[in-house]
Amino acid sequence: MTCVIDICDVGHLNELYGEDCGDSILKQVAGELKKLESRVRPYRVYSDEFALLCDLEEGKIDLKEFLDYCNEIIGFLEDKAFKCNDFDIFLNFTAGIAEGEEEKEKLLLIQKTNKMLL
């Protein structure tokens, strides 16, 4: 199971505060997602997109828990103030979720979910 999370309007953030600020925000988001590694494996997919990969077979989490957990993560990230040049920056996110049954499909899931965001 994969959830791809996209930060909305990063280009606008870069225009307002500069690319260094945008890069800092991306690192902060990545840091927050890295804290979740006990339940899901976070990956940076592309620029402002991150994937959360979950193995349902490993028994760490079931489908409903994963969906609820992804909603919690997005809510947490949207409520968090990210810091940039002494400003508090609040972000919006979109997400797409895909499910696959075979181990070899995991990377394809990230690509499939990524397309759902477009």
Q: Where are the domains of the chain?
A: 2-116
Q: Could you list the mean pLDDT of each consecutive 10-residue stretch along the chain, which spans 118 residues?
A: 89 91 93 83 88 72 82 94 93 86 57 53
For residues 13 and 109, what is the distance between their CA atoms, to the nearest angstrom?
29
Q: Are 91 and 114 spatial neighbours (Cβ–Cβ below 8 Å)?
A: no
* Amino acid 117: pLDDT: 46
* Amino acid 54: pLDDT: 79
* Amino acid 40: pLDDT: 80
Burial of 1 (0-12, 13-18, 19+ CB in 10 A): buried
For residues 25 and 20, what is the distance between their CA atoms, to the nearest angstrom?
9
**pLDDT > 70: what percent of the chain?**
78
Q: Which of the following CATH numbers is that of domain 2-116: 3.60.21.10, 3.30.70.270, 3.40.50.300, 1.10.3720.10?
A: 3.30.70.270
Count other C-beta atoms under 10 Å from residue 105's C-beta.
Answer: 14
**3-state class percentages of the chain: helix first, strand second, coil last, to nearest 5:** 45, 25, 30
Global pTM?
0.78
